[in-house]
Amino acid sequence: MSDAVIIAAGAGRRLGGVAKALLRTGSTTYLGRIVENARAAGAEKIVVVVGAPHAAAVREEALRLGIAAADIIENPEPERGMASSIELGFRAMRGSRAAYLWPVDHPFVTLRTLALVERALGPYEVARPTYGGRGGHPPLVASAVFDRLATCSTAPEGARTVIASADVIDVLVDDPGVVHDIDTPEDLA
């Protein structure tokens, strides 16, 4: 079974300054849907990285969802970009066999996709879901890559550079949720 690092530290500027983690989908939040799916896929340790200006509200939601307080990590400098949050999240994953790198703006990934990615990881360092010829989220990262992700802000393109240099298997899935990124109001339609 694989664990999860959920990146929820963004300011949501392109969405008018709202916390993506707190956007609603059905009866839950984006964060709630991701946590539910990660648990259903077998994740025992789920780390949520939060940041200003929504850190307190997202932390409260994570606690409500049953995330341990010690597994909610605040990025003191989220303005440095997503790589800084990825670093913090993967530093906290010591002892895990593998973890999904899951941005909170990808809440519509199916359990079937998670199962396919989990089965595909095998001897590879990363299993990345793909749809329509595009790499998607969440990639499943083996522990051998954690240290590289824990310093990814020094790479030219952050985590993207680290993953591109890893032994990656692309997993073709029939799941548009892996590439459905919620960044702008138009993405909500």
pLDDT in tens, 117-145: 999 999 999 999 999 999 999 999 999 99
Q: What is the CATH number of the domain that holds 56?
A: 3.90.550.10
d(CA 187, CA 16): 13
d(CA 94, CA 149): 12
Residues spanned by the domain of 53: 3-188
Amino acid present at 54: H
Question: Residue 74, Cβ neighbours under 10 Å: how many?
Answer: 17
Half-sphere exposure of 42 (CA within 13 A, CB side): 12
The widest CA-to-CA distance across the chain, in whole angstroms, is 42
Question: What is the total count of domains within the chain?
Answer: 1
d(CA 44, CA 106): 20
pLDDT digits (tens, 9 = 90+) for 16-52: 788 999 999 999 999 999 999 999 999 999 999 999 9
